[in-house]
Amino acid sequence: MSAEATNPEARPEALPELRRRGRTRLDLRRLGRAALLGPTSRDRLPDAIGHVAEAHRAHHPDADLSVLRRAYVLAETSHRGQMRKSGEPYITHPLAVTLILAELGAETTTLTASLLHDTVEDTDVTLAQVREEFGEEVCFIVDGVTKVEKIDYGAAAEPETFRKMLVATGNDVRVMSIKLADRLHNMRTLGVMRPEKQARIAKVTRDVLIPLAERLGVQALKTELEDLVFAILHPEEYEHTRALIAAHAGERDPLPAIADSVRAVLRDAGIAAEVVVRPRHFVSVHRISLKRGELRGSDFGRLLVLVAENADCYAVLGELHTCFTPVVSEFKDFIASPKFNLYQSLHTAFATPEGYVAEVIVRTRQMHRVAEAGVVALGNPYTATAAAAAAPQAAAAADCDEERVDPTRPGWLSRLLDWQQSAPDPDTFWNVLRSELAQDREITVFRADGGTLGLPAGASCIDAAYAQHGEAAHGCIGARVNGRLTSLSSRLSDGDTVQLLLSHDASSGPAADWLDHARTPAARIAVSSWLASHPDGAGPAAAAPRPPLSVIGVRGGGSNAVADLPDATVRLAGCCTPVPPDAVEGFVVRGGAVTVHRVHCATVTQMRAVGRTPIAVHWRATADCRVTLLAESFGRPHLLADLTEAIAREGVEVVSATVEPPVEQRVRHTYTLQLPDATGLLALMRAMRDVPGVYDVSRA
């Protein structure tokens, strides 16, 4: 993690401006040049980490600081003589990283590992020494954030380092917390690097570290990283945004007066709440300017309302919507439906009589702490209390076995760990990782068996198939979403219920066009691998248009319907194919023949509407009958043969069969059948439905 640094004066001086203007958020910039280890008594902390101890005790008053003293002594002595490019002693870097985490509320184990996070990588300290002195947990975290040797991996060192950190994060999320704090301090002190290296580091931060900070819910780190990256990669837009903020600073800010109005409304309603103005950070101002064009005074910040209980959040919302004019399109309820990164709040906006639009965030103080610090705010996320606070289901699962669970909302982290095993090539892993992290929203879909799947927004049924069945999804032939049949390319929405239909044919596989609809790395890697290993056959591809295939069998005997009209020829209507014991009616048609329909057939309604007189019809005692059935299925090899065999096993004669060209892998079969006994119709239809790939059989 060896980081080059520069003097604090070299960083863009405007970045702290926004935070100094009254924003209620964590101040992560208190650390200046740290003092080296000086004479200390055995029972007190070195002066150099007094500020770390102070910040730590603010969140954990009963914390045992002796382990921090021992970690600091080891870190300082092992790094002694090493300097940063700014000329500062290297120990200032682990101290800064540890202070960032202490301000966020990290527990003692995290801070201990943070002080030691570069010792194994940059000094003679070994993992065995760390394990012996500080225990297995600290050793695991330090190992997780230690880079792989570039001499062993060459150009693949960076992606393999991130792969190692992700795998370690799957077992202990505190690994990534330290990595994020480490990158934040390095980004703050990036000014002495060559411009091209600054840009390279900023791009990795943008593509990988910022999305990870978002997914772990550490907004205090994410927003500052965004501003630092913005200043490096988009200097012109940054300067323009900085000018907008500077111009606004000289104008009257309407938000304090609006905040006073909100306080008065809530006070009159008897709701105890704290109302503060939160100025937007640079990237947020830039985004809102792109969305709204010319900015007004209320666009440079938002109101934050902090209350004690969840119910108070909705009480505040009711008062705001009653006393002000709400902007309905801006309302979002992340309390009832939390984001996948633990975030909970109510978002709304209202218009003032002066024409300003004020955005408001309503949350409890506990929600605020989690919104700012994410998983870091959970303390040790693997204790029962923290797991229950983060994810009650995960806590229940933890009671059932001793495996550690993801303290965030389940889904994205386990997906990363799953698909990275299928991407041994570092370049593939690196590119797919960036693509996966670019998915900034997650949905939850329900499986037919009652389980759930976490998928990125925009995921299709193909993604759900590979998430649930792994490589067995190669044989997926269709899906039902919310009970309705749909194509595999259909996109899923949050809360959908998906039932995946798999083929029992071992030779079936994905079509090449599945790659056009797969969004998750697991699905894309699996489909690509299958196609690469089967160059001569790519599964059930869409067939070219062709005329329907017809199979004509030997015709059966005559109809067993009798009309109350002497010597009349009786025919069963092809539109509804009546069979005993259907209730039927007949109508005389041209030529004197009587056509027999089921009484609920649409043709019967039309005949009566034009004044045609129905003829009474009854069934003969003989039970044989002719019927037309529609079988709808997913295309696969040998399907027609399997259906014909199922029909033959029921002792039914095929009079004719028509197979339409496949559309989106779906095929429609029309069979005219001669049954020896009408009572066997339901059994026949069940037998046809049991053929793999057939999802519906109905009367014509």
Do 266 and 275 form a contact (C-beta atoms < 8 A)? yes
By C-alpha distance, which of 188, 229, 182, 232 is closest to 205?
A: 229
Do 596 and 571 form a contact (C-beta atoms < 8 A)? yes
Alpha-carbon distance of 345 to 339, in angstroms, equals 9
For residue 634, list its beta bridge partners: 666
Alpha-carbon distance of 501 to 537, in angstroms, equals 21
Alpha-carbon distance of 407 to 386, in angstroms, equals 8
Do 207 and 437 form a contact (C-beta atoms < 8 A)? yes
3-state secondary structure 387-411: HHHHCHHHHHHHHHCCCCCCCCCCC
For 209, 475, 529, the CA distances from 642, given in Å and listed in that order, are 53, 17, 30
Strand order in the sheet with 442-447: 452-456, 442-447, 497-502, 476-481, 484-486
- What letter represents residue 663's amino acid? V
Sign of CA dihedral 399, 401, 407, 410: negative
Told to judge if 121 belongs to the known catalytic residues of this protein, a careful annotator would answer: yes
- Helix 255-268 to helix 310-323 angle (10° resolution) is 110
Tell me whether strands 452-456 and 484-486 are parallel, antiparallel or unpaired. Answer: unpaired
Q: How wide is the angle at C-alpha 336 spanned by C-alphas 332 and 338, nearest 5°?
A: 80
DSSP label at residue 582 = -
From the list 4, 17, 47, 121, the catalytic residue is 121
Could you give the 3-state DSSP secondary structure of residue 476? strand
Torsion of CA 89, 91, 93, 97, to 10 degrees: -160
Q: Write down the residue that tokens 């032939």 correspond to.
A: 477
Q: HSE, CB side, 13 Å, CA atoms: give it for residue 599.
A: 9
Q: Write down the residue that tokens 């902007």 correspond to.
A: 327
Q: How far apart are the first and last CA of the chain?
A: 70
Find the helix or strand (DSSP H, E) in which 523 lies: helix 521-533
* Backbone angles phi and psi of 643, in degrees to 5: -65, -45
Q: HSE, CB side, 13 Å, CA atoms: give it for residue 372.
A: 20
From the list 4, 17, 47, 122, the catalytic residue is 122
Q: Write down the residue that tokens 């947990």 correspond to.
A: 137
For 293, 410, 507, 544, the CA distances from 541, given in Å and listed in that order, are 47, 34, 13, 9
- What letter represents residue 376's amino acid? V
Q: How wide is the angle at C-alpha 407 spanned by C-alphas 405 and 412, nearest 5°?
A: 85
Do 622 and 676 form a contact (C-beta atoms < 8 A)? no
Alpha-carbon distance of 382 to 309, in angstroms, equals 25
Q: Which residues are catalytic?
A: 121-122
